[in-house]
Structure formats: C-alpha cells, structure tokens
Amino acid sequence: MPAVQAARACAEGALAQFIAAGDERSAGKVEHNLGSVLFRQDRHAEAEPHFRRAALRFARTGDAESSIGSDVALANLLGWQFRFDEALQTYERARLRATPRGLQVLLAQVHQGVGQIELHRGQWHRALRELVRRRLV
C-alpha cells in the first residue's frame, strides 16, 4: 500500500497546484480520479466529496459531459451505500442533462444503475424496463 499512498499524495499535490492556478478542469479530473480510487478501496465517505466537487468543477468550465460522468459515478457510489433515493435523484439529474446532449454511453450507465437499484428493491418490472433501455441506448 505504500505505492497507493504515494500516488494519492501526488494526486493531492497536483490538485492543490491546479486549484492555486485556477485550472478548474484539471482539478476536476484529479478530483474524479481520486474519487474513483477511493471508491475502489471501499472508502466511500472519502470518495463522495471528490465526485461532488468534480461534477461542479466540470460544470463551471462548461464540460457538461465530464460533469455528468462525475454525477453518474456519484450515483453509483450512493447506490453502493444503499442510499437509493439519493442515488436515483442523482441518476435522474444525470439523465436530464445527458438526454438533450445525446450522450448515449452515459445514458446507458444511468439506465443500468437505476435497473440495479430496482432489482435490489425487488421491483422486477421496473428493473427489467431500465435494463432493456440500457441495451437500446
């Protein structure tokens, strides 16, 4: 794990540099990546604010696709924490933003995430509807 800790320290240093330079887009990339690494390490509480800040940073720079991608990652994280209502709200926000832009891959990820939540809740018909939509996107 020392290599992981060193890499995280490097990323946090880069993040500080990008913030100091006013480079929101690069800071957003680092935030998203830090969130992803922490999520994979099951450090969900630490990952969540990184995804939230990444989505906001990308939105401020006009990078809607990356902002929506960070929202989808956040929704996935919330689902893993069994915070299903928050996850569904976040997926819906991502869907509303991705649809008019034609971001099919992100829409497929939204449908898959919603379908998984509905499966977990035992809502078989809703889950099937979302999972089929994922295939059709």
Kindly report, residue by residue over 12-67, the tens digit of the pLDDT: 999 999 999 999 999 999 999 999 999 999 999 999 999 999 999 999 999 999 99
130: enclosing H helix or E strand: helix 124-136
Give the C-alpha separation, 15 to 108, whole Å: 30
CATH number at residue 112: 1.25.40.10
Q: Which of 13, 104, 16, 30 is nearest to 70 (CA)?
A: 30
Q: How many domains does the chain have?
A: 1
Note down the domain range covering 54: 2-136
State residue 1's pLDDT score: 66
pLDDT beyond 70 at 135 = no
pLDDT beyond 60 at 137 = no
The pTM score is 0.92
